[in-house]
Amino acid sequence: MSDDKKTYYSIDPEDKLYCSKCNELMVKADCAFAYLDNEFPVEMPVCPVCGLVYVPEDLAIGKVLSVEKVLEDK
Amino acid sequence: MKDHFKERSTRTYRQKQLFTKAELEERESVCVHEQPAFCTAACPLKLDAREFVRLVGIGDIKTARAMLERIAPFPYILASGCHSPCVSKCRLSEVSEGISIGALERYVMANAPAPAGKGLLKFKKKKKAAVFGGSLFALAVAGEMANKSYPTTFYVAESEAADIIRSCASFLSDGDMETETKRLLAMDIDIIYNSQLGASFIDSLKDKFDLVFASSELLGEKPDQITLINSSGIITDSGNNKEVIDSLFDARRAGITADRLAQSLDPKSSRGDEGPFESRLYTDLSEVIPSSQIAENEGYTKEEAIAEASRCIQCACTECMKACIYLREFKRHPRLLTREIYNNTGIIMGDHTLNRAMNSCSLCKQCSVTCPFGYDMADICQKARANMVDTDKLSLAVHEFALLDMLFSNSEAFLSMLPPDKENCEYVFFPGCQAGAVSPETIIKSYADLRERLTGDIALMLGCCGAIAHWAGRTELYDEMKDFIKSEMAKLNNPKIIAGCPTCRNTLSEYLDVPVIGIWDILSDLGLPENTEKASGKAVIQDACAARCDSETQDKIRDLTKKLGYTVSEPQNTKDRCSCCGYGGLVSYANRDMAKDMANDRLKGVSDELNLTYCMACSDRFKREGADSKHILELIYGTAKDGFADISEKRKNRLTLKQSLLSDVWGINVLDEVLDFELKISDEARIIMDDRMILESDIIAVMKDYHINKEAVYDVKTELSIATKRIGNVSFWVKFTSEGENAYNVVGAYSHRMTISKRGR
């Protein structure tokens, strides 16, 4: 399991992201993107209290968009 | 009611045949792009003369020679002896003189290097062949059989090979004769010289062989004209040979019969297309400059051959592609594109690589006019989309924004009102969703003008005709839209419709049983309003693709343009031949670059002029490409504005229009929703939002949530907060700064369709 983990797409919160509601530093946690019945495990910044997951802009308009496009033609 | 916006699964495996095999073939056969050139069709041996001439033209005579070596066992005999039936069929002969293909063949055989080696190692076949006779047919068939690897015995009366060649092809030069003699000797043929050729001789030997060939003159009998088999089972020439090419063609056909017999198959069936035929190819000769053949004299020099070959116009039908930038960019003629789109719909698992092509057609039907045979690519693309929607193969992402926009037009922004204080009406004005989105003032003024000058009461309906659902291939949703408009029309007692948009007019008249006319029809009768400002100068008429083959509308628009004071100017592809601006068929949603290219293609050479349209989508698309474009109603009512509305303004315009009309015409006041916080959106953010198809209403929805629950991410480096909300199938993210508790400055926004959630634990 730990070996698999290394291949996950990972975004580090770099101690610069806070959850505004909980006033907590966001931490890296296991998450999953899902689209059209496909799931992709990733590690994303998450609020340890309320569980809010953050998707940065670069990721959304980059990798996420390109994967979406590939799946859309499946 | 079905949820049309539920995301599909890539794990559903459904398939539905787009067309039956017969229908597919029928549709494909309309396109003649793959038809052979006229010269090729005229050649009994099917030499691809167009390609041969092209190769000579570029100096590749080695490949050109290989083509001749492939079609005839004795290519020098072909080159020197053929009377060139291709030349009289060459389309150039209609305007000047046909290409001298025979002379080019002789040039190639004289100058190109002979192919080296013997080619691929072939295994001898088991069936044995015997050829009797000294005719050209016999010589050629012996060569054919040897080339096909049948053990071949050739019985001749002559005593040496050179004599055989001389008697068969006396027209050859001494040098060519020597070459062909060497070729005959090098072939794997057992030549029996000094044979006493005759019927009894053949009869005595024929049982020793599986396949027997003879000249028909030896037997005094004509064979079956398809299989060339005579009553004794001997394969002969047809007995009708007048020209060298006839003998070579008979040898080719005899070879096919031999192959069929050797495999114990019916020699009459599955022979493929044989012999010359009439090509259905279309070639436009309007721009051909007449030129004469170059005299052959002692044979062409290299320069002469290239010059002669360069006269060839390389006959091909590209009429649709010349006009349609979509076909040009996808580099496919309709026949091929149809086959590939058909195959695309049939893919159950894997990538649907033709989705983009299928969704990039504007469905404007220009091809059905430019194609000499009326190919309708639009119908195929629309049906393919509908097929893939049916089988859950077409992604919602491609057209979702447009479909939601249509639903917005027919819900929040929808308005259907009888004239004030009336129970009935004669007309209903249906300006169309794009007019409301792009130029709401034009609707206000045109409705007022109609009510003032047209006899009869006029109701108003602001909404979408449903064309968007049809273009997206969403058949069920289109049916729902049709039912909706029908029920709204029934509430108005089904008056006559005055459409403001040519697409609405076509769409509504398709499914409603009431007369539908265009506002241009009314204005053409009434004349321009008195207060219309007179103009001068030139106006380039950019026809609406929805008015294709509707000369009445096209003429009325030109007439109104002249009444406005303009002189009418026509762009390159005009009237019935006009292409689409890139809005039609939802191209601007599925393939933005293609839509831009479509708009720019129409503006080519006229982007600095005033481009006058009668479709609001056209003027919007042209303005987005930086051109001066105005809708004819904007010019008539003086409502033209510089710049174009972004996607949020297009929505807001429709809502404001509805509110203004309700208030001003019907005295009904609708209150705007008041936000309990202040929201500023920077200009940069607005540009990004337009580019990423994010609406102001999406931003408001995200910020309303944030204002209540304060859920957001704060980035200490950028000092920006980022709030999010999932709306339908899209997650929106808004980047902002706060000013106190009740004011937000939005500086950016982005979105994605994937969902994100925490995993495990």
In angstroms, what separates the C-alpha of B655 from chain A's closest C-alpha?
Answer: 30
Inter-chain CB proximity B397 and A68 less than 8 Å? yes
Inter-chain CB proximity B758 and A51 less than 8 Å? yes
Select from B715, B722, B756 the Cβ nearest to the Cβ of A44: B756
**Radius of gyration (C-alpha) of chain B in whole angstroms:** 36
Are the beta carbons of B500 and B430 closer than 8 angstroms? yes
From the candidate CATH numbers 3.30.1540, 3.30.2310, 2.60.40, 3.30.2420, the one assigned to the domain spanning B678-752: 3.30.2310
Our CA dihedral for B442, B443, B446, B449, rounded to 10 degrees, sits at: -120
Does any CB of chain A come closer than 8 Å to the CB of residue B116? no
For residue B119, pLDDT over 80 is answered with no
Inter-chain CB proximity B714 and A17 less than 8 Å? yes
Does any CB of chain A come closer than 8 Å to the CB of residue B751? yes
Q: Which of B84, B80, B143 is CA-nearest to residue B107? A: B80
Q: Are domains B129-262 and B678-752 of this chain identical in fold?
A: no
| Residue B391, CA distances (Å) to B13, B388, B394 in order | 8, 5, 8
- Quick one: which H or E segment has residue B255? helix B244-262
Are the beta carbons of B281 and B49 closer than 8 angstroms? no
Question: How would residue A2 be classed by pLDDT, with cut points 50, 70 and 90?
Answer: very low
Burial B173-189 (b: 16+ CB within 10 A, else e): eeebbebbbebbeebeb
Q: How far apart are alpha carbons B419 and B428 in whole angstroms?
A: 9
Inter-chain CB proximity A74 and B351 less than 8 Å? yes
With contacts defined as CB-CB under 8 Å, which chain B residues touch A30?
758-761
Inter-chain CB proximity A72 and B398 less than 8 Å? yes
Contact partners, residue B528, CB within 8 Å, separation at least 6: B560, B563, B564, B636
The CATH classification number of B129-262 equals 3.50.50.60
With contacts defined as CB-CB under 8 Å, which chain A residues touch B748?
57
Q: Is the Cα dihedral B687, B693, B697, B698 positive or negative? A: negative
Per-residue pLDDT tens digits for A23-71: 999 999 999 999 999 999 999 999 999 999 999 999 999 999 999 999 9
| Residue B487, CA distances (Å) to B414, B457, B476, B554 in order | 13, 20, 17, 32
Query: Judged by CB atoms within 8 Å, which residues 27-66 of A form the interface with B?
Result: 29-38, 41, 44-46, 50-55, 57, 60-61, 64-65
Stretch B449-457: mean pLDDT: 97
Select from A26, A31, A68 the Cβ nearest to the Cβ of B756: A31
In angstroms, what separates the C-alpha of A52 from chain B's closest C-alpha?
Answer: 8
Are the beta carbons of B351 and A73 closer than 8 angstroms? yes
Q: Where are the domains of chain B?
A: 21-32+318-394, 38-115+282-310, 129-262, 398-648, 678-752
DSSP 8-class letter at B748: E
Q: How far apart are alpha carbons B70 and B73 in whole angstroms?
A: 7
Q: Which of B333, B316, B334, B320 is CA-nearest to residue B39? A: B316
Select from A35, A52, A73 the Cβ nearest to the Cβ of B753: A35
With contacts defined as CB-CB under 8 Å, which chain A residues touch B9?
36-37
| pLDDT value of residue B759 | 83
| Residue recorded with tokens 């003024």 | B445
Per-residue pLDDT tens digits for B564-604: 999 999 999 999 999 999 999 999 999 999 999 999 999 99
Stretch B432-453: mean pLDDT: 97
Burial of B307 (0-12, 13-18, 19+ CB in 10 A): middle
Nearest CA in chain A to B356: A73
Inter-chain CB proximity B714 and A67 less than 8 Å? no
> Which pair of structure tokens corresponds to residue A49?
């209290």
| Residue recorded with tokens 């090979």 | B161
Stretch B514-539: mean pLDDT: 96
Question: How would residue A1 be classed by pLDDT, with cut points 50, 70 and 90?
Answer: very low
Q: How far apart are alpha carbons B237 and B209 in whole angstroms?
A: 18
User: What are the structural domains, with CATH classification, of chain A?
Assistant: 2-72 (3.10.20)
Inter-chain CB proximity B352 and A73 less than 8 Å? yes
Per-residue pLDDT tens digits for B45-83: 999 999 999 999 999 999 999 999 999 999 999 999 999
In angstroms, what separates the C-alpha of B746 from chain A's closest C-alpha?
Answer: 15
In angstroms, what separates the C-alpha of B734 from chain A's closest C-alpha?
Answer: 10
